[in-house]
Each structure stands twice: as structure tokens, then as C-alpha cells.
Amino acid sequence: MHDPHLKDYPLLGKRKLAKYLFYSCTTQLRQHNIIRARLGGNDLDPTTLVSFFSFNPIVMTIDVAARKVYWLDPFQYSLYRVDVRGGEKEDYGVNRAAPKNDGEFDVILIDSLPVASQLYFFENASISVSKCLENNGGCEQLCYPVNCPNAKNCDDISRKCGCADGFIVDRTNPDKCSALSSGASTKCDENTQFKCKHTETCIAREKICNGKWDCYDGSDEDLRGICAGNFSCGPDEFRCDSMTCIPEYLLCDGRADCEDRSDEKWTVCRGTAFNDWRHLISSVG
């Protein structure tokens, strides 16, 4: 799920123009992450721009000129955006109208939005030319295009070869890949760090079992492994009996947000305004 019109543009200040991929992924705890990754594959680990809770698949697009990533949640009737560098998400949605002058808004009632909603951003743009489009650029495994604004300026250095996990670029032939030594392994401090199971990256131990994936393989939130009997949610979250976290504002709202419906149990919702109202309606009926 990424914008099909990726461009070359300055992203991080002093860095040169580079191509980036924006995509979303969903964890087993229904935590959505929108991630930015450099297509060259030789930068730092992918960067999570924003994390949020949602039951629903999202659709995304990118406003390159404004450097904003937009996404639509059809069931929440809302359009959101975040800066390409990350930060707080902005509710830019279709469920509210806000005049620029006074900032007041009215809530607009919407019955539903199509689940298969589409989100587009249109602009005049030229199509980039890449050496990787033909015969994988002559690379054995991965081919990464570098800045090449038009065909006349393209030459042999308009692409760079790379290798998949477990391989490195061959020293004698940069178009080929060599397998890493099987003995090579990341070492983490057992007292302060946790090693992700598959990616073998190190994260701080306090990030284990906090309801959010800090390992890209999710091994830091494994309910049958490291988190068995040791699971907690954040301060503004509710822990379902099924050992998942939901935002606290979804608690006792008349809709089961936990898979086991534990967020709508009478023992949990007793005394809340919504539950008292629901009880009154059932009594009158």
C-alpha cells in the first residue's frame, strides 16, 4: 500500500535527493503503522511515522509538494495526514467542517463510506527513467535507481545494486552478491536489551510487551512467548481479556472493540454514562 507516483525530493534536510517508499502494516494487536523506508536499502532501519489503533484497512496517498502522507479510514469516516518526517497525526477528515477564521465546527452525520474507498492525489509530473527497468539493471538481486531526471542524463551510474537479507555486495563485482558468514550475529545486552527473533535487531527491554510492535517481526509482543503472563497496556489503553490493547476512549461505547467483548462487560461498564443510558432505553422498551 504505497503511492504509485513516488518521486525524487529532499526529505531530510542535508541529505541528497532520494527515493522513499511509504507503506502501512498492521500488527496482531490491531496497531497500524505508517512507515517510511529508503528504496536504496542501505539507510537506517525503516522509520515509523505514526502509529494508531484501528480495526480497518486503510488507503493512502502522498502529497509530495506539501510533504504530507494522507490516509482514509472508511469506518471512522475520517481523513488523516502526517508529515513525511513523522509527528502527530492530524484529523483532516470528512466528519467535520472547520472554518479557517473562528475554528468552530459542526459534526456532519454520514451513514457510511464504501469499504473499498480510494484516495488519490493529482499533480502534473514527469515519469522518471531508471536503468533498473531493463534486465534489473544488470544486478544479480536488487536494483536501486538513483537520481535520473530524463533519458539524456542517464548513464551507467544511474543505478546501484544491492542484496537481500543474508547477503552483501561482492567486493570484486558490485553487480553480484555474496552470502554472509553464518557466524555473523547481532549481540544485544541481555540486561538492558531484547533481541528481535528474526531481524536480530536490539530494542530496549522496557519496550517489551507494551502492546506495540517495536520489532518488525513482532517478536517483542509474542503472547505465547516473551509476553506470556507479562502483558500490559499503555496508560490511555484498556487491556482486553484476550490480551490485546484498545484505546481507552473505545471502552463502553456500545460496540465491542475487544475480540472477546470484554470492553463492553457489565462489570466493566457499570456506572458509565453510556451504559446507564442504554439500560434506561431497555427498561422503557
Number of Cβ atoms within 10 Å of the Cβ of 222:
16
Helix (H, G, I), strand (E, B) or coil at 232: coil
Predicted structure pTM score = 0.41
Count of domains observed in the chain = 4
Contact assessment for residue 54 and residue 89, using Cβ atoms and an 8 Å cutoff: no
Assess if residue 285 is contained within a domain: no
Residue 142 shares a structural domain with residue 212: no
d(CA 209, CA 212): 7
State the DSSP H helix or E strand holding residue 144, giving kind and residue range, or none if neither.
strand 142-145
Range(s) of the domain holding residue 144: 135-179
Please list the alpha-helical segments (H only) found in the chain: 266-269, 273-284
State how far the alpha carbon of 120 is from the alpha carbons of 11, 34, 139, in Å.
21, 17, 33
Residue 224 within any structural domain of the chain: no
Per-residue pLDDT for the chain (285 aa), expressed as one digit of tens each?
Answer: 334 333 333 333 323 334 778 888 776 556 778 888 876 655 556 788 887 776 666 778 888 777 888 887 766 667 788 888 887 777 765 544 445 455 554 444 444 444 445 555 555 545 556 678 888 889 998 888 776 555 455 554 577 888 877 678 888 999 998 877 655 566 888 889 998 877 677 889 888 887 677 786 778 878 777 877 666 777 888 888 776 778 888 888 888 878 778 888 888 888 765 544 444 444 444
Q: Residue 26 in contact with residue 32, Cβ under 8 Å?
A: yes
- CB distance 180 to 160 below 8 Å: no
CATH at 252 = 4.10.400.10
Same domain, 36 and 13: yes
175 shares its domain with 189: no
